[in-house]
């Protein structure tokens, strides 16, 4: 497939007694790693460029991924090999001049009618850990925009949120738009997080515009994460020490 550029934005809102919210623009790419076509001059696969994807960045342990090979292994292990009969797409932030940090990437299982049948959310924290959540209906039917998929939170992400809780995923997926909403609930608190945007063909002109507008790529994302953490700390949010929480690589 032709590589798509998600020119979108992410929004986060903290719920509870100490509130906080922010919204900023992001650049993601949507690819089909098993069927890559010719890419723009400023985009590369497994080598340095303005935008780039490296197989080792997704699918498995951080910095040691194996892409769709890992995905198919997970599906077989979970007894969901049927999902592997659909197109396997990857929605992720690209490396920008060699650097990448993805708070969350998504493997998407898409049928012949461009319907979403399942997803794997790869969640990364700033402590070098990763945990993935497998989202699908039990019967692998189409995930409609008005439906939800729920999974138990098992992974330490933010020092201002407990490991315990429940994620509720909502997906809107068309040929021109993507909308993903994640609600984290625990007690009286939680988070609402969204990733939304328009899909357009990835071009060198579009990459150049993104590099001018957001030249630091994922370094900017990391900076914004630490800036929001500082704001929460100054507001008096309780700091929860880091713990290597998840004992499994993938959960559902």
Q: What is the pLDDT of residues 69-86, one digit of tens each?
A: 999 999 999 999 999 999
Token pair in block for residue 211: 């590099």
**For residue 5, what pLDDT is reported?**
98
- Counting runs of H as helices and runs of E as strands, what totals does the chain give? 3, 14
pLDDT in tens, 91-112: 999 999 999 999 999 999 999 9
Specify the pTM: 0.95
């Amino acid at each position: 497939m032709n590589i798509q550029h998600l020119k979108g934005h992410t929004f986060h809102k903290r719920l509870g007694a100490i509130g906080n919210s922010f919204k900023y623009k992001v650049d993601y790419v949507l690819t089909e790693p098993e069927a890559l076509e010719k890419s723009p001059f400023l985009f590369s696969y497994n080598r340095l460029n303005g935008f780039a994807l490296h197989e080792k960045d997704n699918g498995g342990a951080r910095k040691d991924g194996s892409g769709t090979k890992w995905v198919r292994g997970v599906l077989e292990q979970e007894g969901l090999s049927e999902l592997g009969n659909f197109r396997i797409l990857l929605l992720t932030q690209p490396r920008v001049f060699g650097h990448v940090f993805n708070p969350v990437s998504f493997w998407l299982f898409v049928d012949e009618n461009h319907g979403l049948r399942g997803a794997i959310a790869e969640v990364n924290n700033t402590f070098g850990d990763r945990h993935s959540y497998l989202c699908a209906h039990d019967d692998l039917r189409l995930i409609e925009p008005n439906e939800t998929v729920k999974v138990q939170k098992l992974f330490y992400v933010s020092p201002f949120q407990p490991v315990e809780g429940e994620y509720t995923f909502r997906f809107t997926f068309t040929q021109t738009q993507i909308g993903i909403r994640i609600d984290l609930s625990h007690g009286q608190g939680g988070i609402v997080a969204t990733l939304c945007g328009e899909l357009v063909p990835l071009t060198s002109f579009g990459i150049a515009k993104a590099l001018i507008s957001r030249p630091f790529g994922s370094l900017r994302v990391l900076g914004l994460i630490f800036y929001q953490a500082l704001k929460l700390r100054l507001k008096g949010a309780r700091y929860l020490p880091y713990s290597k929480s998840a004992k499994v690589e993938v959960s559902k």
